[in-house]
Structure 1
Amino acid sequence: MRKDYDLIIRNASIYDGTGSDSFKNDIGISGDRITKLGTIPSTASANEIINAEGFAVSPGFIDVHSHDDWLVFSEPTMDGKVMQGVTTVVNGNCGWGVHPQSAARTPPDDSPVPVWNSYADYFKVLAERPPSVNVAMLAGFGPLRAGSIGNASEERPASDSELAQMCTWMREAMEAGCVGMSTGLVYEPDRYASLEEIATVARELKPFNGLYASHVRDEGETLLEAHAEAIEIGQRAGIRVQISHHKAQGQQWWGKVRDSLKQIERAQASGIDVTADQYPYIASSTRLAAMKQNGQFNSGVEIPKVLLAAVPDHAEWEGRSIEDLALEWDIPIDQTVDRILHQAGDGVFAVRFAINEEDVRAVLKHPSTMIGSDGLGYGSKPHPRHFGTFPRVLGHYARNEEVLSMKDAIHKMTGMPAAKFNLIDRGIIREDAFADLVIFDPLTIIDRATYENPRQNPTGVPWVIVNGSTTVRDSIHTGALAGYGIRRGQ
Structure 2
Amino acid sequence: MTGATTTNNSSPDTGNGDSTCDTLISNVSLIDGSGAAPFAADVLILNGRILRIAAVGALDGWQATQKIDGHGRVLSPGFIDVHTHDDTNVIRQPEMFPKLSQGVTTVIVGNCGISAAPVSLKGAPPDPMNLLGDTNAFNYPTFASYVAAVNQAQPSLNVAALVGHTALRNNHMDRLDRAASDDEINAMCLQLSEALAHGALGLSTGLAYDNAISAPTSEVMALAAPLAAAGGIYATHLRSEFADILEAMEEAFQIGKHARVPVMISHLKCAGVDNWGRSGEVLAALEQAQRYQPVGCDCYPYTASSSTLDLKQVTDTIDIQVTWSAPHPAMGGKMLATIAAEWSVDLLEAARRLQPAGAVYHGMHDDDVNRILSHPATVIGSDGLPNDPLPHPRLWGAFPRVLGYYSREKKLFSLTVAVNKMTGLSAQRFGLIDRGLVREGYWADLVLFDPETIRDAATFTNPMQAAEGIEAVWVNGVLSYCGGAEKRATGKRAGRFLPRVGI
**TM-score normalised by L of structure 1:** 0.94
Q: What residue in structure 2 maps to residue 135 of structure 1?
A: 159
Q: Secondary structure of 1:355's partner? A: coil
> 1:197, 1:41 → 2: CA distance?
57
Distance 1:386 1:31, change over 3 A: same
1:419 equivalenced with 2:428 (yes/no): yes
Q: CA contact under 8 A between 2:91 and 2:149: conserved in structure 1?
A: no
Q: What residue in structure 2 maps to residue 287 of structure 1?
A: 308
Q: What residue in structure 2 maps to residue 173 of structure 1?
A: 195
> 1:225, 1:459 → 2: CA distance?
41
Distance 1:314 1:462, change over 3 A: farther
Distance apart, 1:123 and its partner CA: 0.4
1:99 equivalenced with 2:117 (yes/no): yes
Provide Cα deviations, 1:356-411, integer angstroms capped at 9, x if missing partner.
00101000111011000000022332100011000000000001110111101100
> 1:203, 1:69 → 2: CA distance?
24
Distance apart, 1:31 and its partner CA: 1.5
Q: What residue in structure 2 maps to residue 244 of structure 1?
A: 266
Q: Secondary structure of 2:282's partner? A: helix
Q: What residue in structure 2 maps to residue 256 of structure 1?
A: 278
Provide Cα deviations, 1:171-195, integer angstroms capped at 9, x if missing partner.
1111010111000001143211111
Distance 1:177 1:13, change over 3 A: same
1:81 equivalenced with 2:95 (yes/no): no
Q: CA contact under 8 A between 1:311 and 1:379: conserved in structure 2?
A: no
Kindly, what percent of the aligned residue pairs are identical? 39
Q: What residue in structure 2 maps to residue 477 of structure 1?
A: 489
Q: CA contact under 8 A between 2:95 and 2:493: conserved in structure 1?
A: yes
Provide Cα deviations, 1:5-40, integer angstroms capped at 9, x if missing partner.
111100111111101101111111012111111144
2:449 to 440, 449, 452: 440
1:305 equivalenced with 2:305 (yes/no): no
Count of matched residue positions in the alignment of Structure 1 and Structure 2: 475
> 2:118, 2:76 → 1: CA distance?
37
1:383 to 382, 388, 392: 392
Provide Cα deviations, 1:37-69, integer angstroms capped at 9, x if missing partner.
114432311111111110001100000000000
Q: What residue in structure 1 maps to residue 148 of structure 2?
A: 124
Q: CA contact under 8 A between 1:70 and 1:107: conserved in structure 2?
A: no
1:24 to 17, 36, 40: 40
> Structure 1 counterpart of 2:289, which letter?
A
Distance 1:313 1:479, change over 3 A: farther
Q: Secondary structure of 1:470's partner? A: strand
Q: CA contact under 8 A between 1:109 and 1:379: conserved in structure 2?
A: no
Q: CA contact under 8 A between 1:315 and 1:380: conserved in structure 2?
A: no
> Structure 1 counterpart of 2:467, which letter?
P
Q: CA contact under 8 A between 1:131 and 1:483: conserved in structure 2?
A: yes
**TM-score normalised by L of structure 2:** 0.91
1:321 equivalenced with 2:339 (yes/no): no
Distance apart, 1:198 and its partner CA: 0.3
Q: CA contact under 8 A between 2:118 and 2:163: conserved in structure 1?
A: no
Q: Secondary structure of 1:43's partner? A: coil
Q: Secondary structure of 2:224's partner? A: helix
> 1:76, 1:108 → 2: CA distance?
15
Provide Cα deviations, 1:180-234, integer angstroms capped at 9, x if missing partner.
1000001143211111110111111001111100000111111100011001100
> Structure 2 counterpart of 1:66, which letter?
T
1:394 to 403, 410, 416: 403
Q: What residue in structure 1 maps to residue 179 of structure 2?
A: 157
Q: CA contact under 8 A between 1:69 and 1:98: conserved in structure 2?
A: yes
Q: CA contact under 8 A between 1:307 and 1:320: conserved in structure 2?
A: yes
Q: What residue in structure 2 maps to residue 351 of structure 1?
A: 360
